[in-house]
Amino acid sequence: MNFMLFSPALFILSGLCALLLHKYNKVSNCIGAFGVVTGCIAGLVSLFNAYTNPESVALSVPWSIPYGSFSIAIDAIGAIFLFPIFILSAVCAVYGLEYLRHYYGKKNTASAWFFFNLLIASMILVVISRNAVLFLIAWEMMSISSFFLVLFEGEKKEVAKAGLIYLIATHIGTLFLLVMFVLLGNEAGSFDFNRYQITAGGLLPSIIFISAVIGFGTKAGFMPMHVWLPEAHPAAPSHVSAVMSGVMLKTGIYGLLRVITFIEAPCAWWGYLLIGIGMISGILGVLFALAQHDLKRLMAYSSIENIGIISMGIGLGILGISTQNPVLAILGFAGGLLHIVNHAFFKGLLFLGAGVVLHQTGTKEIDVLGGLLKKMPVTGFCFLIGVAAICGLPPLNGFISEFLIYLASFKNILAEPSIAIVSLGCIASLALIGGLAVTCFTKVFGIIFSGEPRSSSCQNAHEPGMLMIVPLIILAFACVAIGISFPFILPKADRLLADITGISPDLIRTVLSGTMNPLIYITTAGLLLYSGLFLFAVLRRMLLKGRTIDSVPTWDCGYAKPDPRMQYTASSYVQPIVDFFKGILRTQKHGCELIEYFPDSSSFKTKTSDIFQENLFAPILAFIHRCAESLKWFQHGKLQVYILYILFTLVALFIWKL
């Protein structure tokens, strides 16, 4: 029997067991987490099997559902998504074990485990399914289970609203996917993926591609279809946000890549479109992240930014395929795909870190935190690694993937004008994104972890238990390890890139070996940096040996009576940049300016809402609401008249057919 199916089955089974034993909080929690961890290990083993023996994992069983067949398989494209799913889910499950302990007795944690396990099982099924019907069923399971996870604290009003927005957005996306699969199936005469091969020219491939971009882009969080993301991610429990942001968004990218493999010859403008979406999502994503005060909401916007970077890489890759430019195609896809894995690790790390902060202090408002590095040094250090990685600083993993996209652009800067302009645009926007990301995350780390505590809640904060610390360490280690070992990983990716681009593996190997030089430099420099840091740490310890170490408040210099309220706040730190981009951000400021010499007590508040939500979706929704209002008389709630409606319809149909 197929070993790959073992792990989703284990997830669902352990989820059900957890649900059955919901009366015993501890037991059901342990069963849920244990199921995820063992399932993930089994999945990783079968993934390794699939790598050594690709034929061993294909399975196709006929199914009674019309057009459906239970076909699953793992190929290189699926594997690159399965790998982060397994690792991040296992890590988050361990973390969730302690995170949910806080809710014992207050909430049904067993149902949280059930939906968490279902979410992971369905994500795996999405990636391995090879039939459109099976894919859509798994896709829907994924949406529904994550919807219930978002509603974990559904009694809060804003959480309920977030859940509703997510439910609507994800189903609009599914609608477009349905259209896309029907078009594909109509052309191929079957709903099995291996029969999908669109060779026809004309409008059809473009319509399919546009539907895929809207449908999958809604899940992935392309702007402007991202509006559910900043609502849903802060609402879910932190380990769920980590999985949702780290790997669930990526299933949207997976779908897009899968559809591209169905189409023989992608058009060049698809590449331009994806690059454009990537630039908009990247720049606006990080800008809006910059202006947020809610830690998890900020992370959600930063996920949009990273999806933008991924989309840029894939767009460059498609452009490379359609213009027969192997360097652009290979490096673009390589950068985009690597960023998928990297983002899973560092965003998972950051969400889990944010969860620790929330769990230990009870707030995710950046402005009331502060000075946490002294209270929880290990968490702070891991968070710092995640922050450095997401900013794209060498020698961490985030830098490598952005570097590959930079490289793809720089190598084509002298190509024909259309590609050269796009390459320049990519370089410029990646640079802008990088700079803004550094501002954004120095704000996060600086305000939360440095300085003095701004409120009593972080006075008493302390390091959480091992179950929450170890996941952070594992993910931080993964960020460092990928950054260092990448030159050894890249040559192994030839099969994956050949699957996507359709370029011969030999050519891919030559192109990849051309990029090895700078990568090896990066690795060497990174190793030097780490050993230098290590030496300095040892030196510091030796010098401080036997001396007394004083500790004084931060920002003590020169102030007679320093007070935590004198520190920079999150808003004041980013104020110059937010003001510079005020045309886009439209930050509302509430509060008065201080004019007199002895001002009264005063307050100041800023709020940055989503421009797409306010200016694009709100008017559309208001219009739909107005239309619905005019149909209200029809829904009066009188049972008898409802039966009359049914009767009238039936009799009318009967008479019509006579």
Partner 1 sequence: MNSWVDLNIIAIVLMNFMMLSSSRIRICIRVVAIQGILIGLMPLLAGVHSTTYASLVSLSISIALKGIVFPYLLLRALQKADIRKEVEPIGGYPLSLLMGVILFLVSCWLSSRLIYAKPLFSNLVVPVSFATFFTGALIIVSRTKAITQVLGYLMMENGIYLFGSALLGGQSLLVELAILLDIFVAVFVMGIAIFHISREFDHIDTQNLTELKDWVPSKQE
HSE at residue 38, side-chain half, CA atoms within 13 A, is 14
User: Could you say whether residue 537 binds partner 1 (CB under 8 A)?
Assistant: no
User: Could you say whether residue 594 binds partner 1 (CB under 8 A)?
Assistant: no
H, E, C per residue of 25-87: HHHHHHHHHHHHHHHHHHHHHHHHHHHHCHHHHCEEEECCCCCCEEEECCCHHHHHHHHHHHH
For the bound state, the minimum distance from the C-beta of residue 658 to partner 1, rounded and expressed in Å, comes to 5
For the bound state, the minimum distance from the C-beta of residue 386 to partner 1, rounded and expressed in Å, comes to 44
For the bound state, the minimum distance from the C-beta of residue 627 to partner 1, rounded and expressed in Å, comes to 14
Looking at 324, 639, 653, 656, which residue binds partner 1 (CB under 8 A)? 639
User: Could you say whether residue 552 binds partner 1 (CB under 8 A)?
Assistant: no
CA distance 102 to 435: 38
Looking at 524, 643, 649, 652, which residue binds partner 1 (CB under 8 A)? 643
Q: Looking at 23-31, 78-86, 554-562, 631-639, which segment touches partner 1 (CB under 8 A)?
A: 631-639
For the bound state, the minimum distance from the C-beta of residue 654 to partner 1, rounded and expressed in Å, comes to 8
User: Could you say whether residue 529 binds partner 1 (CB under 8 A)?
Assistant: no
CA distance 233 to 351: 10
Contact status, residue 165 vs residue 230, Cβ threshold 8 Å:
no
Tell which positions 21-40 bind partner 1, by CB under 8 A.
none
Nearer to partner 1, 620 or 646 (CB): 646
CA distance 308 to 432: 13
Q: How many residues bind partner 1 (CB under 8 A)?
A: 15
Q: Tell me which H or E stretch contains 604.
A: strand 604-607
DSSP string, 89-133: HHHHHHHHHHHGGGGBTTB-HHHHHHHHHHHHHHHHHHHHB-BHH
How is residue 51 written in tokens? 């790598």
Nearer to partner 1, 597 or 656 (CB): 656
Name the residue with tokens 């008249």: 641
CA distance 324 to 332: 13
User: Could you say whether residue 653 binds partner 1 (CB under 8 A)?
Assistant: no
For the bound state, the minimum distance from the C-beta of residue 327 to partner 1, rounded and expressed in Å, comes to 58
User: Could you say whether residue 1 binds partner 1 (CB under 8 A)?
Assistant: no
For the bound state, the minimum distance from the C-beta of residue 618 to partner 1, rounded and expressed in Å, comes to 16
Q: At what angle do helices 377-390 and 326-361 cross, to 10 degrees?
A: 150
User: Could you say whether residue 647 binds partner 1 (CB under 8 A)?
Assistant: yes
Tell which positions 456-475 bind partner 1, by CB under 8 A.
none
* CB count in 10 Å sphere of residue 352: 31
Q: Looking at 254-262, 430-438, 477-485, 637-645, which segment touches partner 1 (CB under 8 A)?
A: 637-645
Looking at 462, 637, 653, 656, which residue binds partner 1 (CB under 8 A)? 637
Nearer to partner 1, 65 or 644 (CB): 644
User: Could you say whether residue 655 binds partner 1 (CB under 8 A)?
Assistant: yes
Nearer to partner 1, 545 or 636 (CB): 636
Nearer to partner 1, 462 or 632 (CB): 632
Q: Looking at 29-37, 401-409, 482-490, 630-638, which segment touches partner 1 (CB under 8 A)?
A: 630-638
User: Could you say whether residue 621 binds partner 1 (CB under 8 A)?
Assistant: no
Nearer to partner 1, 542 or 653 (CB): 653
Nearer to partner 1, 560 or 655 (CB): 655
Alpha-carbon separation of residue 353 from 239, 359, 382 (angstroms): 10, 10, 8
Q: What are phi and psi of 60, to 5 degrees?
A: -140, 120
Q: Is 608 helix (H, G, I), strand (E, B) or coil?
A: coil
* CB count in 10 Å sphere of residue 447: 27
HSE at residue 396, side-chain half, CA atoms within 13 A, is 21
For the bound state, the minimum distance from the C-beta of residue 643 to partner 1, rounded and expressed in Å, comes to 5
CA distance 652 to 567: 74
User: Could you say whether residue 157 binds partner 1 (CB under 8 A)?
Assistant: no
User: Could you say whether residue 265 binds partner 1 (CB under 8 A)?
Assistant: no
Looking at 106, 547, 636, 656, which residue binds partner 1 (CB under 8 A)? 636
Looking at the chain, how many residues does it have?
A: 658
Nearer to partner 1, 616 or 628 (CB): 628
User: Could you say whether residue 630 binds partner 1 (CB under 8 A)?
Assistant: no
User: Could you say whether residue 656 binds partner 1 (CB under 8 A)?
Assistant: no
Q: Please list the residues that pair with 294 across neighbouring strands.
A: 365
Q: What are phi and psi of 252, to 5 degrees?
A: -65, -45
Among residues 443, 147, 409, the alpha carbon closest in space to that of 294 is found at 443
Contact status, residue 587 vs residue 606, Cβ threshold 8 Å:
yes
How is residue 208 written in tokens? 């399919």
For the bound state, the minimum distance from the C-beta of residue 647 to partner 1, rounded and expressed in Å, comes to 5
Applying CB under 8 A, the residues found at the interface with partner 1 are: 629, 632, 635-641, 643-644, 647, 654-655, 658
